[in-house]
Structure 1
């Protein structure tokens, strides 16, 4: 999946968003309509050698906060149960897992320690909505069904002023 180059200006914004410098950035996978990075693509192995399965890292503070609230409200448990109850949803989610692994392969050499492991609980459960939302934003609608659902629940989180704007 193509990503945009990660500029010095992007690095400054992301450091402000996260409160630290990100590691292993491969590029910007999704930008907010205001133009700021909202999802970073990361390399499968960080510069210090650590395997890093989170290919799509959600950085937008508004999205991160809203997704954290959804997680606290129990959305993950409900989605995980639906994967057990709905074979069609489970099959689509499995394809999202495969798409995630294929995208990771584009950002760096294979990392045996995380071979076959995507992120966010895929392909059998929902462990981290931040990953699923990041994946849905980066890949576009229709790739990750539960990421799409979470985005629908979030609404237009970008419509409020961005970080540093009031």
Structure 2
């Protein structure tokens, strides 16, 4: 079950209805969802490789500032120079793929083909800190670059929620599927 208020908050955060929502993967300290777990395929069967999707615009903006600072370029250089870091990043990639395959199996859908990207450039590149931070928020300790970026972020929630939230309530999976398509 996905809470109606969470779907409403995510829609306000994204400026559009979220698609393929399976669950709230992480909540911001303000209480709203900031990472959604999405299905590996949208309701129409379209592949959707981003399992953990960052929704909070305040977090996204702060991460964008980190990206603009050249942090990804520095991370990429370290990835090439540090075999231990490269191994940890490869493990993060494998974790992501295994979780995405498990989500497909749980939802009774075909897994994405081998070779389909995971997220954020894993395992060989540092391409999108938003995806790496979302992975780390959803699975603490899983993503070394996600953790590093998360540790460099300001407290984006400190001045309050990014959107107004409606009262909590739940809806059945069919209603969620309808909203998420």
Calculate the TM-score normalised by the size of structure 1.
0.90
Rg: which structure is higher? 2
Q: Check whether the contact 2:40–2:112 (CA below 8 A) recurs between aligned residues.
A: no
Query: Where does 1:144-159 land on structure 2 (aligned, <5 Å)?
Result: 144-159=143-158
State the shift of 1:114 in Å.
5.6
For 1:133, the equivalent position in structure 2 comes to: 133
Measure how far apart 1:115 and its partner are: 4.4
Hey, what does 1:103 align to over in structure 2?
A: 99
Superposition deviation, residue 111 in structure 1: 3.1
Long gaps (5+) in structure 2: 165-181
> What's the CA shift for 1:75?
1.1
- Distance, in Å, in 2 between the alignment partners of 1:110 and 1:145 is 29
The answer to whether 1:80 aligns with 2:55 is no
Q: What is the distance in 2 between the residues matched to 1:136 and 1:162?
A: 21
SS state at 2:125 partner: coil
- Alignment-derived partner of residue 122 in structure 1: 122
CA RMSD of aligned residues (A): 1.5
CA contact (8 A) 2:10 2:18 kept: yes
1:11 Cα deviation from its structure 2 partner: 0.9
| 1:110 shift after superposition | 4.0
- Structure 1: distance between partners of 2:20 and 2:114: 16
Matches within 5 A, 1:64-75: 64-75=60-71
1:15-41 deviations in whole A, cap 9, x for unaligned? 100000011011000011222110000
Residue 33 in structure 1 maps to residue 29 in structure 2: yes
Q: What is the CA-CA distance between 1:96 and the residue it aligns to?
A: 0.4
- Between 147-156 and 115-124, report the one with greater CA deviation: 115-124
Ranges in structure 1 where 5+ consecutive residues have no aligned partner: none
Q: Could you tell me how far apart the structure 2 residues matched to 1:42 and 1:30 are?
A: 12
Q: Which has the higher contact order (CA 8 A, sep 6+)?
A: 2
Equivalent position of 1:160 in the other structure: 159
Structure 1 distance, partners of 2:148, 2:120, is: 14
TM-score, normalization: structure 2? 0.83
The 1:70–1:94 alpha-carbon spacing in structure 2 relative to 1, beyond 3 Å, is same
Residues in 2 aligned to 1:52 and 1:122: alpha-carbon distance in whole angstroms: 16
